[in-house]
Amino acid sequence: MSVLDVRDVSVSYGSLSIIESISFSVEEYEWVMIVGPNGSGKSTTIHAITRGAPYTGTVCFEGRDISTYTSTDLAKQIGVLMQDHMVGYSFTVEEVVRLGRYAYSKGLFSAFSDEDEEKVRYALELTGMYAARDQSVLTLSGGELQRTFLAQLFAQDPKLLVLDEPTNHLDLVYQKQIFELIRDWIMRTGRCVISVVHDLSLAKYYGTRVLLLHKGKVVALGSPHEVLTKEYLNDIYMMDVYGWMNVMLSQWKD
């Protein structure tokens, strides 16, 4: 049984169709990359499978329709990392990360269990934010803020991670750091990731499967080698993608 099973999912706003009957599944230990030009429906697909947008079709998590999950039960299974965060007040890094344990809290005033404390500390250490745990999130750089929310996600410890362009405006160092952290995370028992990426090289290098979208429809789904081919890419991006990539790479020869 797949971890996530998306069948014929469509989203439309009024008469405007954003995505049309998208189907794919995600297995354990997989990293599915959703790629495609701007406006191809990547983010909308992600919103639909995290209950962030009204959709038609079915999305099942471990065989059960996600609309039947309670908010907390779903949060224990699916975690989301967005590209932008707009924290309103000067919460500390640790306060933000502790919120990741919300779905596991019990009782009216919800005391933290030893397991909660351990998970929070582990997440802070894993992302290298432990030393900065008492710092206000308003003073963090973009990369540190993103790592803080990644730590929150690790503390939440879901089975499926959904990432919406997680390293969009991060510099190279942070980009690599975050992708490596996520890849290590997949290797823990039965975890999997879906992410939207713009950088085709990242999709090719880290992805185990690639979902190529264009104008709201699935063009191809398969291994990076099968999907990120000259034919598909040149057709969809309407330019010589391979040629361009080679020109870029040739700048880096010693």
Q: Does 185 bind other proteins (CB under 8 A)?
A: no
Q: Does 75 bind other proteins (CB under 8 A)?
A: yes
Q: Specify the residue, 50 or 167, whose C-beta has the smaller distance to other proteins.
A: 50
Q: Does 71 bind other proteins (CB under 8 A)?
A: yes
- What mask, x for binding other proteins by CB under 8 A, covers residues 136 to 175? --x----------x--x---x-------------------
Q: Does 95 bind other proteins (CB under 8 A)?
A: yes
Q: Specify the residue, 28 or 125, whose C-beta has the smaller distance to other proteins.
A: 125
- Contact residue for other proteins among 18, 33, 93, 103 (CB under 8 A): 103
Q: Which residues, listed in sequence order, are joined to residue 33 by a DSSP beta bridge?
A: 195, 210
DSSP state of 229: -
Choices 23-31, 37-45, 83-91, 139-147; region in contact with other proteins by CB under 8 A:
83-91
Cα–Cα distance measured from residue 7 to residue 21, given in angstroms and rounded to the nearest whole number: 7
Q: Does 82 bind other proteins (CB under 8 A)?
A: yes
Q: Does 112 bind other proteins (CB under 8 A)?
A: yes
Q: Which residues contact 175 (CB under 8 A, 6 or more apart)?
A: 167, 202
Cα–Cα distance measured from residue 214 to residue 158, given in angstroms and rounded to the nearest whole number: 29
Q: Does 67 bind other proteins (CB under 8 A)?
A: no
Total number of residues binding other proteins (CB under 8 A)? 42
Choices 8-16, 32-40, 101-109, 240-248; region in contact with other proteins by CB under 8 A:
101-109
Q: Which residues contact 138 (CB under 8 A, 6 or more apart)?
A: 87, 89, 90
End-to-end CA distance of the chain: 48
Q: Specify the residue, 51 or 215, whose C-beta has the smaller distance to other proteins.
A: 51
- Contact residue for other proteins among 90, 139, 223, 246 (CB under 8 A): 90
Q: Burial letters for 113-141: b for 16+ Cβ neighbours within 10 Å, e otherwise?
A: eeebeebbeebbebbebbebbebebeebe
Which residue, 96, 93, 95, 113, is CA-closest to 104? 113
Cα–Cα distance measured from residue 83 to residue 170, given in angstroms and rounded to the nearest whole number: 10
- Contact residue for other proteins among 110, 139, 141, 223 (CB under 8 A): 110
Residue type, 49: I
Q: Which residues contact 18 (CB under 8 A, 6 or more apart)?
A: 11, 12, 41, 44, 216
Binding site for other proteins (CB under 8 A): 50-52, 70-76, 79-80, 82, 85-92, 94-96, 98-100, 102-103, 105, 108-112, 117-118, 121, 138, 149, 152, 156
